[in-house]
Amino acid sequence: MFAARLKADAARVETRLRAEIARYGDLPVVAAMDHACQGGKGLRGFLVMESARLHDIPEDQAILPACAIEAVHAYSLIHDDLPAMDDDDLRRGRPTVHVKWDEATAILAGDALQTLAFGLLADPALPPARAVALSHDMAQAAGAGGMVLGQALDIAAETAAAPLDLDQITALQAGKTGALIGWAACAGAVLAGTDATPLRSYAAALGLAFQIADDILDVEGCADKTGKRLRKDADAGKATFVSLLGLDGARARAAELVTQAEAALDPYGDRAQVLKEAARFAIARDR
């Protein structure tokens, strides 16, 4: 159920987002924006769509914040991949934007995707008070108190005297990936003007489980027969949940978080089955 819905939502969101981008014509910067919005798993957009379904929000409203969160995610990846940041040349199996075009185009494409995201949240199809709430929360989640804070902590960690401890790495993750996941999961409740606490708890546990699973995959990938996967973070001497908790400890912690995530959704009863499945998927997936 979850896998099929993720796939369907991701396709729908990507199609709409690309249509929004296509309005801007055919300059390289627009092609770069389009490139960056293709081929993702679409988890964040799915979370918006599913939390909207949970609150009986019409799909033509839900698709706007779903596209917005994927646009913010894409912008963050473009800038993250820049030579001055992580310097990655591959993303989703394709060349990164600054490799396929150039750095200036990558900077501008990321900038314009962030702008587009807030533009989508200001669409007249959304009730104004809900639109403002989504935009306000997005600014918290994406800005210097959220995602950018996480990125900045990550940069600071690289030159820190000692590796981060568990609290520090948890704070880093909460900003870097947790804040946007939280925004996405809460979007349906915000659109409905109702209490987002259960979804916020769900997303906090889900986001952390997701990051721990990432760290586990980073190590386990190396033991693969293919031997192709790089232990990028581990080899860079960065603290990870695995380096701090051990492989078994990290697995146990992730499982515990999934149980927490599922329990947080109890107020929604059976309607939350797909979101619960999403949490179980987080620790069972391949990369």
Which spans of this chain sit near a second copy (rule: CB under 8 A)?
A: 21, 23-24, 27-30, 33, 75, 79, 82, 84-85, 102-105, 107-108, 110-112, 114-116, 118-119, 121-124, 126, 128-129, 131-133, 135-136, 138-140, 142-145, 148-149, 151-153, 155-156
- 3-class secondary-structure state, position 124: coil
The distance of closest approach from Cβ of residue 253 to a second copy in the complex, given in angstroms and rounded to an integer, is 27
The distance of closest approach from Cβ of residue 41 to a second copy in the complex, given in angstroms and rounded to an integer, is 23
What whole-number distance in Å separates Cα of residue 247 and Cα of residue 249? 5
| Residue 150 burial (CB count, 10 A) | 21
Q: How far is CA 149 from the centre of its chain?
A: 15
C-beta closer to a second copy: residue 43 or 180: 180
The distance of closest approach from Cβ of residue 161 to a second copy in the complex, given in angstroms and rounded to an integer, is 16
List own/partner pairs for 4-11 with CB under 8 A and 24 or more apart. Answer: 5/46, 5/50, 5/274, 6/41, 6/42, 6/43, 6/46, 6/278, 9/42, 9/45, 9/46, 9/49, 9/50, 9/66, 10/40, 10/41, 10/42, 10/43, 10/45, 10/46, 11/42
What whole-number distance in Å separates Cα of residue 70 and Cα of residue 81? 16
C-beta closer to a second copy: residue 94 or 136: 136
- 3-class secondary-structure state, position 254: helix
The distance of closest approach from Cβ of residue 143 to a second copy in the complex, given in angstroms and rounded to an integer, is 4
The distance of closest approach from Cβ of residue 26 to a second copy in the complex, given in angstroms and rounded to an integer, is 11
Tokens 């900003």 belong to which residue? 175
C-beta closer to a second copy: residue 154 or 218: 154
C-beta closer to a second copy: residue 46 or 75: 75
C-beta closer to a second copy: residue 150 or 198: 150
What whole-number distance in Å separates Cα of residue 107 and Cα of residue 283? 33
C-beta closer to a second copy: residue 14 or 20: 20
Is the Cβ–Cβ distance between 181 and 47 less than 8 Å? Answer: yes
The distance of closest approach from Cβ of residue 85 to a second copy in the complex, given in angstroms and rounded to an integer, is 5
C-beta closer to a second copy: residue 179 or 257: 179
The distance of closest approach from Cβ of residue 178 to a second copy in the complex, given in angstroms and rounded to an integer, is 16
Is the Cβ–Cβ distance between 155 and 184 less than 8 Å? Answer: no
Q: Which two tokens stand for residue 237?
A: 């001497």
